[in-house]
Amino acid sequence: PVLLLDEATSLAGIRSQVTSLAAAVGNPAAGRKMLDAMDRMLGEATLDAKDTPLPGVVVLRPGGGVAGAGTLQDEILAAAGLRNLAPDAPVDGDGRIGLERLLRLKPDLLVLDSDGDAPPALAREVLDHPAFRARAAGMAITSLPAALWVCPGPWVAEAVGRLSAARRSLAGRQRGSRS
C-alpha cells in the first residue's frame, strides 16, 4: 500500500502526518508517544519565549536563500520566540537575499542553515565580507543543522529548543551590555 501525505508546512501538519502514518502502520500509540515527546520539547523550549520585543532573526541558507513567511522554518522561529525579518525584505525571484538587504534588516540573530562540520558554502562567505564584519557588531550568529528543520518531523522540536537557547543567550548578552 502507498500512503499519500500532505506536505507538512507547520507544526500542526507534522502532527497530522505522524498521526496518519502511525495509524496506517497499525501503531497509533507509537505516534502518540512521538508527538508527546515533541510537545514536551516544544513546551520546555517556549516556556520563557515571552520576551518583548521579539529578537529579529534572518535564516541564511546556502546561496543566500532565506526562510520566508508561511514556511515551516518561519513557524519554528516563532515557536522559539524569534521574529523572522526575511518577510520584511524584498527578496529576488529565487527567494534569495543579498548582503546589502541582509545588513539593512539589522538582525539580532543570524542563523546559518547548515551543519557545523559542513563543507564550505556561500552562506558562510558573507561572514568574511568587510561590509558584514563592519556592521555585524552586536549580531549573534548560530548554526543549525538543516536536517533538524528542513524536512518536517517531530525532530523540529530540537530545532525550536536550539533556537530558543540562542534567543536566551542573546537576551543575556543584551542585558549584560546595558549594565
Instruction: Find the angle CA(128)-CA(133)-CA(135) to the nearest 5 degrees.
Output: 145
Q: For helices 156-178 and 72-79, what crossing angle results, to 10°?
A: 50
Residue-wise pLDDT for 31-56, tens only, equals 999 999 999 999 988 766 665 678 99
pTM of the entire predicted model: 0.85
Domains of the chain: 56-178 (3.40.50.1980)
Mean pLDDT score across all residues of the chain: 84
